[in-house]
Amino acid sequence: MQPLTASSIDTAPSVSPAASPILLGTGPVAIADVVAVARYDAPVLIGDDARAAVSASRDTIDVLATDVQPHYGISTGFGALATSFIDAADRTRLQQSLVRSHAAGSGPEVERETVRALMLLRLSTLLTGRTGIRLTTAEAYADLLNAGITPIVREYGSLGCSGDLAPLSHCALALMGEGWVRDHTGTEMTAADALAAAGLTPVLLAEKEGLALINGTDGMLGQLSLALHDLHTLLATADVAAAMSVEALLGTDAVFAADLAGLRPQVGQAASASNLRRMLDGSPIVASHRGPECTRVQDAYSLRCAPQVHGAARDTVDHASLIAGRELASAIDNPVVTVDGRVESNGNFHGAPVAYVLDFLAIAVADVASMSERRTDRMLDPARNGGLPAFLAHDVGVDSGLMIAQYTAAGIVSELKRLAVPASVDSIPSSAMQEDHVSMGWHAARKLRTGIDGLARVLGIEILTASRALDLRAPLKPGPATGAVLAEVRREVAGPGPDRFLSPEIESVAAGVRSGAVLAAAQASTGDLY
């Protein structure tokens, strides 16, 4: 499964406007922290309280390591081999073997930001003092992140239970100085060479440490965190796109009135309706057909019901954010070192809570994109676009205008509908039936990444189309906010004219949607949109 991008691999860090250090071990990691470290290479620091908690839990493990009674993860095998007692002389080899055998990923390379996100979240759990890892190992993991060394993780290998085993194992393998990585420049090399170049020493894992490094929901949670960050921008941009389409199609803003939205007190709907009102405020085009001479009774659903659909997607994001916040505050490992010093097995590594909301978000993403594509199609159809030329072409018949841009949007939407089928309902047993129900949360996360990229492209095509339609409404002028977005588009994309190479224009506007440049242009006029 590949994201709908020209290249699925980002091998070099992004440029951060301000990559301030992130202090870990003082509380849950925030979504903004995940983005800062994963996407912009913000450095991480370990707090003093976390150092004390890690050292205390390690003392518990050291005591149990000398016990003649077996303790899972410390002196036994793993999974279906949990009944195998391991002699003290073999326990270091046990930890190395665990990581090597579980680093069994296959397929295309996973994006740099995803790997860095899962590493940050695993480190955050290590610093809770509930995993029994040594402080020196946690510090080495932080050093790996801060050096910009990114283990090469493969697409397939995680079932989302026990956590994201294979992806996390590839990262633990790099900590051991084994496997393949990319350095801070994006150059592929062996982990041993990368560590040496950064002045770092490979870690020889002790009891419990291999398990502590690989048993968590960090891969799916990292991708959920990045998705939630991106969706805040994309859903506000969806309102921007809808407002431009309403204006371009000579629609009405009356249906977005606050009192009408208040009759159905859905929080997301109210926010979306407010955005649309602000985007269309002061629009000469809307004012031009507001009088009794306008015979249109009501607009099509893709215009009139935009707040209902975009709002429902917002409410879904809010629910997913609630679940993500709880998971970011969690200590996921098996077994765990409890606050009172017990070492207990548990099932907290099961990814169901995260998997469900990842699937839920994929449904919302597909539906918002589907509505956007319908508005694009309406602007191109002379039977429905209120007097604009067919496909917004310069010379209809000779020119095709934006005809095939709609095909592109439709193709993406069709793919997003397929990707909206839940992954979390498809359990498959593993580990000789010991792990007989799994979450498939990693797969749900991979689907959502593709969906978010596709939504940005579909919104970009709508904004590209609406921009041309607004130009063709001259001498009528768009409103201040929609006009600001039109001006932003025209910085990179020329206005109406004979047919030209269209793909770079689609890519340019989609990039502006993803980066937030389109939203920023609107907000320069409206203030912050919700």
Task: Give the other-Cβ count within 10 Å of 14's Cβ.
Answer: 14
Q: How far apart are CA 454 and CA 250, in angstroms?
A: 27
Under 8 Å between Cβ of 446 and 221: no
Order the strands of the 180-182 sheet from edge to edge. Answer: 150-151, 180-182, 188-190
Count of alpha carbons within 13 angstroms of residue 302, beta-carbon side: 21
Q: How far apart are CA 374 and CA 138, in angstroms?
A: 51
Under 8 Å between Cβ of 415 and 422: no
Under 8 Å CB-to-CB from 68, ≥6 apart: which residues? Answer: none
Under 8 Å between Cβ of 345 and 334: yes
DSSP state of 80: G
Under 8 Å CB-to-CB from 457, ≥6 apart: which residues? Answer: 4, 408, 409, 412, 506, 510, 513
Cα-flanking dihedrals φ and ψ of residue 416, to 5°?
Answer: -65, -35
Under 8 Å CB-to-CB from 380, ≥6 apart: which residues? Answer: 390, 391, 392, 401, 402, 403, 406, 465
Q: How far apart are CA 114 and CA 127, in angstroms?
A: 20
Under 8 Å CB-to-CB from 329, ≥6 apart: which residues? Answer: 27, 28
Q: How far apart are CA 239 and CA 288, in angstroms?
A: 22
C-alpha of 339 from chain center: 33
Q: How far apart are CA 521 and CA 489, in angstroms?
A: 9
Which string of DSSP letters, residue by residue, matches 178-221?
-SEEE-TTS-EEEHHHHHHHTT-------TTHHHHHH-SSHHHH
Q: Is 434 left (phi over 0), alpha (psi -120 to 50) or beta?
A: alpha
Size of the chain in residues: 530
DSSP state of 372: H
Which residues make beta-bridge pairs with 46?
Answer: 24
Q: For strands 336-337 and 154-156, give the pairing.
A: unpaired
In 3-state terms, what secondary structure has residue 21? coil
Residue with tokens 């000398």: 66
Q: For strands 44-46 and 22-24, give the pairing.
A: parallel
Q: How far apart are CA 72 and CA 108, in angstroms?
A: 34
Closest CA to 336 of 325, 348, 328: 348
Q: Which residues are catalytic?
A: 72
Using omega within 30 degrees of 0 as the cis cutoff, is the peptide bond preceding 475 cis? yes
